Amino acid sequence: MESLEELFGGIDIYLFDQLLRGRIAAGHRIVDAGCGFGRNLVYLLRSGYEVYGVDTDPEAVAYVRRTAATLAPGREANFRVAPVEAMGFPDAFADVVICNTVLHLARDEEQFRAMLSGCWRVLKPGGLFFSRLASLEGMEGRFQHVAGRRYVLLDGTERFLVDEKMLMEMTAELGARLADPLKTTIVHGQRSMTTWVLRKNE
């Protein structure tokens, strides 16, 4: 009998919640923007979803291709080395775009907006955008400010941090609607992570 880890990999629990609620369903085409080593892709590949992904790390992409060769032979070429802001997929390509723990890696607001725009471009009208990113929510005044929206977190990493006001402004700019209320988890002594799930208007 397969273990849960073998079946689901290291899938983000908040992304798993979207699966449980049927928002990511059979027949959907999914793009993982900044897929890394594919922690969120194991179940999707095993279950026959049409999955694509990009990452700037060639080693990570090579690993995901090997995973795909094992779990979904023939889909290896769906994964490529590319930045989120220039993924190379056609407009309105995906039913679901996952951008998990990626947007806070932006060097500044210009790149943040470019990455978000890249995700939004490939998402179909009516599609679902899932993002989880570091934020200031609940941790105001506890991080060392570097410049702009860049801060050093309590775990020592430097990140581009959003807040509720910025996310709601971005939601309005995109002409999108929240698929879920913003949800923030405070990781004690380290950071704050906000889940931002949008539905693209038809």
Provide the pLDDT for residue 120. Answer: 98
pLDDT tens string, the chain, 202 residues long: the values are 677 777 778 899 999 999 999 999 989 999 999 999 999 999 999 999 999 999 999 999 999 999 999 999 999 999 999 999 999 999 999 999 999 999 999 999 999 999 999 999 999 999 999 999 999 999 999 999 999 999 999 999 999 999 999 999 999 999 999 999 999 999 988 999 999 999 999 8
Q: CA quadruple 174, 179, 180, 181: dihedral positive or negative?
A: positive
| Residue 10 CB neighbours (<10 A) | 13
| Residue 7 CB neighbours (<10 A) | 13
| E-only strand ranges, 61-149 | 79-81, 94-100, 123-134, 144-147
If DSSP states are collapsed to H, E and C, what string results for 136-184? CCCCCCCCEEEECCEEECCCCCEEECECHHHHHHHHHHHCCEECCCCEE
Provide the pLDDT for residue 3. Answer: 76
CA distances from 137 to 94, 123, 166, 185, 201 (A): 30, 27, 11, 9, 27
**How many Cα atoms occupy the beta-carbon half-sphere of 2 within 13 Å?**
8
Provide the pLDDT for residue 199. Answer: 98
Q: What is the enclosing helix (H) or strand (E) of 67?
A: helix 58-71
Of 116, 118, 119, nearest to 96 (Cα)?
119
Provide the pLDDT for residue 197. Answer: 98
Q: Are 191 and 154 in contact (CB under 8 A)?
A: yes
CA distances from 41 to 7, 38, 45, 137 (A): 10, 5, 6, 28
Provide the pLDDT for residue 113. Answer: 98
| Residue 110 CB neighbours (<10 A) | 11
Reported pTM: 0.95
Provide the pLDDT for residue 188. Answer: 87
* CA distance linking residue 46 with residue 137, whole number of Å: 35
Domains in the chain: ranges and CATH: 4-199 (3.40.50.150)
